[in-house]
Structure 1
Amino acid sequence: MRAKACAVLLVSASLAACAAPSTEKSPSHLAPMTAEKVNRIIRADVIPYSGQAHGEVIGRVSSAFLGTPYKADTLIGGPDTPEVLVADLNNVDCFTLIDYVEALARSHDEKSFLHNLKDVRYIDGKVDYLSRRHFFSDWFATPTPNARDITPTISPDYLVSEKRLNRKADGSEYIQGLGIHPRKINFIPANAITSQVLDQLKTGDYVGVYSPLDGLDVSHVGIVIRKDGDVFFRNASSLAAKRKVVDSPLLEYMRTKPGIVVLRAQ
């Protein structure tokens, strides 16, 4: 789920954090300098490499965010607040980072970026608070998915957790009005992330840190980057010592975590 602080809980960024896509005009907000950054990234990292595998384009696009400050609660919308399509490349949290990267990797100009951002962030491209993909697993388990869950295909040691997403321990909802969503979450326990598992990860794969809490699927998200023979986890870190987008050695980062969920873009 989207978070006020991705390292704590991936709860909605605006909570204190198979139909065709909608063509309706929606309220939008581009932060200062965002349009310039969008066009610069697309010209430098998307168009020249459009013939490459999508994951490689994701890797190039996401490199433009290294060092970008971490900031939660940049989205606009909530139970009592109209949803606005926000594009702010100046500040990201762990979830908005992957939203922007995936949308940019599909785009050829600013207009197509905004269209793709709607499709990535919202189910059926409908800009509405309750249509927002609040959970990481919404990327593969909802209509017009962004990615597919490859977790079971890369490790024979994966486990399945029966979740009731959006349900707090006291029975209330993290996202008011969204309802409770039973969902099976596949994950690879941290102690089963072997060299064989790492070998099957590709640049541009999206990784979620599995959450053992019943109402959540993951607690943090990021992107797999392979370079110089090593595997890194590119993520918007909320840790006080970082507070920016960084590359962390994936195996070291996950050693103290419960496990991982791995998605590959469509």
Structure 2
Amino acid sequence: MRNFWSLVVLGFAIASANNSLIPDILAFESQPAVAAVDRQTKAQGADAAAQLTGKTENPETTNQPTVSSFPSLFWEINNLSKISYSQLLEVLARREYSDNTARENAAQPEDIARFAKIVQYAKQQNLPDRAIGEIVQAIADNFQGKPYAEGLLDKSGEEKLIVTLNKFDCVLFVETVLAISRGVAITDYDYQNFVNRIEQQRYLNGKMNGYCSRLHYFSEWINDNQKRQTVENITAQLGGMPMNKTLNFMSQHRSSYPQMLKDEATYQCIVSQEADLAKTAVSYIPTNRIKSIYSQLKPGDIVAVATDVKGLDVTHTGFVYRNADGNLGLIHASPSGAVTVAYDLQRYISRVESAIGIVVARAIDPRQQPSPAKK
């Protein structure tokens, strides 16, 4: 799940271990911990849970689980019936839209102008005639030097469809480049369609229904986009080995996520989402084997940095980049400052603290997908 998403918080984990932050590995920055939850917010969380369970509780006496609580303990503490992630999501969505939460696509004039320049560049370079991976690399190249910015999806208290073309975190960079590239491949240069593709890639089943619908863990991002034939997870094909870990970083670090800390139902939703994610096997290519698969990688392949941080799958992401001399590197929104190219992929991964290897997904060419049947 992505609090990438915010996405998942590596900064919090590393700070806990080292009391230091290494600039080039902080792909998923933690949000400031919230000291207390006000009475009104507790009541809202209890109301949402009551809609699903038929039970009510006094918000003034409800215990808040600690960061170290196990997900199963939460249900015992609050004496609520277990409910599915999809049910929680439905209630959260109803509440969000009933509160007239604005859907925001950040369609600022300057972003529309930037989009127009990218479209012009794509036409001039005849990008629609190229393979999808080459389109991805060319579009990504267009953003070199754009600044890195953390927490862009969580500036507002409500979930909004944020789109930006002038600054990125690592996942926002991947989503933006992929959405533009898929449009270029089919010569769809409409800005609103680009925004729609961002939504489809970022949220469960392609629809924004509140904070919990965001694909916070990147393994979930890959799985959900694979279902809709946007990308294909090729890690196993490349000889990947099982990661064998439980992904529960968000629920175990609840205080780092204001959206969960303030809303009991959102926390329950994330716990259920993590339980669903546990049913999916996650594979990775160990760091010392990355160079051996260079011949099987293509420009534009999505690379995620697998980690040994407890409860977390990956900490950073970018695209395979073919340098002028043919060597494979990584183009990414680097926490060290901007969109840049690391010359050698394996060497870069080996220098990332807590990294154990990579997960690889490949964009599926929309031109190779069957067209919708005409009515």
TM over 0.5: yes
Report the Cα offset of residue 10 of structure 1. Answer: 2.9
**AA matched with 2:347:** E
Structure-2 separation of matches of 1:129 and 1:219: 20
Runs of 4 or more consecutive aligned structure 1 residues displaced over 6 Å after TM superposition = none
Q: Does 1:68 align with 2:146?
A: yes
- Structure 1 pair 53–46 and aligned structure 2 pair: CA distance change class (3 A): farther
Question: Does the CA contact (< 8 Å) of 1:46 and 1:57 recur in 2?
Answer: no
1:44-71 CA-partner distances (Å, limit 9, x unpaired):
1268322321111111110111000011
1:92 is aligned to 2:168: yes
Equivalent in the alignment of 1:161: 243
Check whether the contact 1:203–1:223 (CA below 8 A) recurs between aligned residues.
yes
Q: CA deviation at 1:29?
A: 1.8
> What is the rounded CA distance, in whole Å, between the counterparts of 2:247 and 2:307 in structure 1?
11
**Aligned residue number for residue 20 of structure 1:** none
Partner amino acid for 2:200?
D
- Give the drift of 1:170: 4.8
- Unaligned 5+ runs, structure 2: 12-23, 33-96, 184-188, 261-266, 365-375
Q: What is the deviation of 1:28?
A: 2.4
- Give, in angstroms, the shift of residue 253 of structure 1: 0.3
Query: Out of 334, 342, 345, which is 1:237 matched to?
Result: 334
Residue 315 of structure 2, aligned match among 215, 219, 237: 219
Picking from 359, 369, 372, the partner of 1:261 is 359
RMSD: 2.6
* Structure 1 SS opposite 2:305: strand
Of 105-114 and 3-12, deviating more is 3-12
Is the CA contact (8 Å cut-off) linking 1:77 and 1:84 kept in structure 2? no
2:104 is the counterpart of 1:27: yes
Stretch of structure 1 that moved more, 202-211 or 220-229: 220-229
- Structure of higher CA gyration radius: 2
Q: Give the equivalent residue in structure 1 for 2:159.
A: 83
Cα distance in 1 for residues equivalent to 2:178 and 2:253? 34
Does structure 2 retain, via aligned residues, the 8 Å contact 1:136–1:218?
Answer: yes
Q: Is the 8 A contact 1:76 1:85 kept in 2?
A: no
1:252 is aligned to 2:347: yes
- Give the alignment's TM-score, normalised by structure 2: 0.60
Aligned match of 2:236: 152
**Distance in 2 (alpha carbons) for counterparts of 1:170 and 1:133:** 17
In structure 1, C-alpha distance between the alignment counterparts of 2:218 and 2:342, rounded to whole Å: 20
Partner in structure 2 of residue 184 of structure 1: 281
Pair 1:172–1:184, CA change in 2 (3 A): farther
Instruction: Number of aligned residue pairs: give it.
Output: 249
